Structure 1
Amino acid sequence: MQAEWQVPADHPAFAGHFPGRPIVPGVVLLDRVLWMAGRERGFTGWTVAQAKFLRPVAPAEMLVFRLMDTPRGALGFEIRCGDELVATGVLQQEVR
């Protein structure tokens, strides 16, 4: 699955992250990835097993989120801005 999201320039997270040089907090990006995984798979019990942030994201940037199946039943993800990789990671189903 792949989806685009333009970061709203007035996103509330920018108020304190960081004054004078706003960037999207990593938790906002992970929340979007988890939302996509739940929507795609009809299951909301995903957890972040691994995440790596490679560059900051500024207000109004257009991001492309991509989910990929892994051999062990997890979901890999990547977030790109144009040709640049912003973040990568792995989601796994929560064990209950």
Structure 2
Amino acid sequence: MPKQTDVHFPADHPTAAGHFPGNPIIPGAVLLDSALTAIAAAEGSPPGPCRLRAAKFLHPVRPGESMLVEWQATPTGAIAFTGSVDGRPVMTATIMTGSVTS
């Protein structure tokens, strides 16, 4: 069963002014970083090195919205997670945790 947590992006989020003026969205890199930070906090550990295996951005996330992040470990040791806003999928990603040297 996936674990879950919420990430809220305030209406005055600093990326909103420049990404994109008149039609603001939260950049994908911010979505990923926010999801990984929230997962680490929910697991009770600091964010550590990881390798992004895959990521897809399915729908824009707007300032003022909250994203539900759901995650679970895979049989290969990766962490697969999704983000959704109001039940609509907005992101999927998979990471490998640990060393990123190779």
TM over 0.5: same fold? yes
User: Residue 25 of structure 1: which of 15, 19, 27 is its match?
Assistant: 27
Q: RMSD across aligned C-alpha pairs, in angstroms?
A: 1.5
TM-score (structure 2 length as normaliser):
0.84
How far is the alpha carbon of 1:21 from its aligned partner?
0.3
How far is the alpha carbon of 1:70 from its aligned partner?
0.6
Asked if the contact 1:34–1:46 (Cα under 8 Å) also holds between the matched residues in 2, the reply is no
- Name the amino acid aligned to 2:81: F
Contiguous gaps of at least 5 residues in structure 1 = none
Write the mapping of 1:54-65 to structure 2, written as runs, cut at 5 A: 54-65=58-69
* TM-superposition CA deviations, 1:21-75 (whole Å, max 9, x none): 0000001101012213433262512232110000001111121011111110010
Tell me the equivalent position of 1:93. 97
4+ residue runs over 2 A deviation: 36-39
SS at match of 2:71: strand
CA distance in 1 between counterparts of 2:91 and 2:53 reads 14
User: Residue 42 of structure 1: which of 35, 40, 45 is its match?
Assistant: 45
